[in-house]
Amino acid sequence: MKILFIEDDKMVTDALEELCRMQNIDCDVANEGNLGAKLALNPIYDVIVLDIMLPNKDGLEILNLIRENNISVPVLMLTAKGTVEDKVSSLDLGADDFMVKPFSTKELFARIRALARRLDHGLSVTNIAYGDIVFDLDRNLLSFNDKTERLTQKEAKILELLLRRPNQVFTRAQIIDRVWGLDNIINRNNIEIYIHNLRKKLEGSNVKIDTLRGIGYIIGKKNVQNDPFEDSLV
């Protein structure tokens, strides 16, 4: 799980970072609105915890940007006031949960875990079906037609990342951050090897991974006339 905390109180974010470290949770932090907005528009987070009152750009503006860019990550809003107006505005803009400061960190992380179990405002899934493929997240198995391919751990993580947001571009930096983590050193050219292997394993399906030169990768369907398959999460 990867969390983004956007909160202007550095003492609070320092404490949250330490709690994440103790629980082996990956997290990023922004203490002002402009950086927070920039990070929030990266589709690499499972949950965003967003303070309403921030320097430079407030939380409601950031939330609006997230939803305008069709990013469906669950967002938990924080406020020091807890007014009805704050709650209504947050929910109207697409917030998923709301907590008033001061808050219990135990409750905060319980709510984060609950939100992380949801995908696109649905239930957590063990299989992802897209086009004519089904990807078993528990066993790293890719199936379509009468073919089954077992993926390596890294191949599985990359494919899951792409499948959870089809038709959305992921840069190499975003893939490295999400799959390996920022603390790991990896040659970006190695990602092309994993993508090449995934393409080979997808051969014969109606799903493809395209390279946008100089930008990144995107998964989508091949142009199949009268495609009978519907996107679904199982």
Pair 158, 219: CB distance under 8 Å: no
In the prediction, which pLDDT does 89 show?
Answer: 81
Around Cβ 110, how many Cβ atoms within 10 Å?
A: 11
In the prediction, which pLDDT does 120 show?
Answer: 44
Strands across the sheet containing 170-171: 170-171, 216-221, 207-212
Residue 145 CB burial class (10 angstroms; 0-12, 13-18, ≥19): exposed
Taking the whole predicted model, whether its pTM rises above 0.85 is answered as: no
Around Cβ 227, how many Cβ atoms within 10 Å?
A: 12
- The architecture in CATH of the region 127-233 reads Orthogonal Bundle (1.10)
In the prediction, which pLDDT does 125 show?
Answer: 57
In the prediction, which pLDDT does 196 show?
Answer: 93
In the prediction, which pLDDT does 27 show?
Answer: 92
CATH 3.40.190.10 assigned to domain 2-116? The reply is: no
Pair 136, 176: CB distance under 8 Å: no
* Residue 117: strand, helix, or coil: coil
Q: Would you state the torsion angle of the CA atoms of residues 111, 113, 119, 124, taken in this order, to the nearest 10 degrees?
A: -120
Q: Domain ranges in the chain?
A: 2-116, 127-233
d(CA 209, CA 219): 4
Give mean pLDDT in consecutive 10-residue pieces for the chain, a chain of 234 residues: 93 94 90 95 89 94 90 88 76 87 91 75 67 91 93 92 87 81 64 92 95 89 55 35
In the prediction, which pLDDT does 121 show?
Answer: 43
